[in-house]
Amino acid sequence: MERIGLIGAGRAGSAVGAALAAAGHPLVGVTARSDASLERAARLLPGVPVLTADEVADRAEVVLVAVPDDLIREVAQELPLRAGQYVVHLSGAHGLEPVAGLSATPVALHPSMTFPGGPVRLDGVMFTATAPDSAQGVVERLVKAVGGQVQWVADEQRARYHAGLVHGANHLTTLVTQAVGVLREAGVADPVATLRPLLTATLDNTLRAGHHALTGPIARGDVETVAAHLAALRTGMDRTRTTYAELARATVELTAADGRLDAATADRFTELLDGHPAVADPAADRHPTAPDRTTPQDRTAQDRTAQDRTGEAPR
């Protein structure tokens, strides 16, 4: 099996490195500078020596560059790479460009998974790869070793691919956070328990059936219900009302396109939503006397999220 060298001990790189080591690939070294990275390397990669970048690259056949996106080019360009090696980055947004022109064969390999900072099971996870034909065998061996699947995306489509992941995953977090806030404003004692079964079922149904899984007032043609929602959200916080309105527009388009909404009802929805533009002054959506209802637990979670984002996917 190929000898793996890990440049960076972020959350994604450490988890992928640990999975490769568990599958039998020898990890010849890892770089780690911050206290958090050193702690993570010790916890997830026990026995793997912490070395300089040059030492890691010199010992490895596959050099895994697991650093933040905007540092990939700078870090890779400084490595003493040679012919016969593979230089692999884990960014979803970038293709081969940050690691092109080096002596080693360039590979972009992105796991569609989130990495919270501990060990992560990669069984069944889809890895999206962009690489020259000569690297495909190595890529498939590495991914299959950790139980993952491989799909190939053209270099020029990497940004579009990553946009789809971010829109589906990161924006889902934004949407759910806004929904929890609305329920809390309505006096619901446990918004998460209220949403969990509905969201779980909806996500599962949508992944199986696409937009045909859609239910709710727009699918039923209930224009007045949507109007009541928009009126209720007028005194909501931040951009929740404008987010609701824009997603409602997209939902109307989906249901009209597949014939569930007749043209007259679709026009009524459009007329209603035209009075709630998608782009608005955030101050206009913020109630001037609304108290800050963020709990200490919420603030603690937000603080944790702001810390140590290196390696989180999709990035």
| pLDDT tens digits along 32-46 | 999 999 999 999 999
| Distance, first Cα to last Cα, the chain | 29
| pLDDT tens digits along 103-126 | 999 999 999 999 999 999 999 999
Mean pLDDT, the chain, as a whole number? 89
Which stretch of 136-140, 199-203, 304-308 has the lowest confidence by average pLDDT?
304-308
For residue 298, pLDDT beyond 60:
no
What mean pLDDT do residues 195-212 have? Answer: 96
What mean pLDDT do residues 297-304 have? Answer: 40
What mean pLDDT do residues 220-226 have? Answer: 96
Q: Which residue has the tokens 């970038």?
A: 94
What mean pLDDT do residues 217-242 have? Answer: 89
Specify the pLDDT at position 264. 96
> Could you give the 3-state DSSP secondary structure of residue 91?
coil
Specify the pLDDT at position 300. 39
Report how far residue 108's alpha carbon sits from residue 203's, in angstroms, rounded to the nearest whole number.
29
What mean pLDDT do residues 298-309 have? Answer: 38
| pLDDT tens digits along 66-100 | 999 999 999 999 999 999 999 999 999 999 999 99
pTM: 0.81
Report how far residue 91's alpha carbon sits from residue 107's, in angstroms, rounded to the nearest whole number.
10
For residue 87, what are the CA distances in angstroms to 71, 98, 259, 306?
14, 10, 50, 29
Specify the pLDDT at position 96. 97
For residue 49, pLDDT beyond 50:
yes
Specify the pLDDT at position 299. 39
> Could you give the 3-state DSSP secondary structure of residue 140?
helix
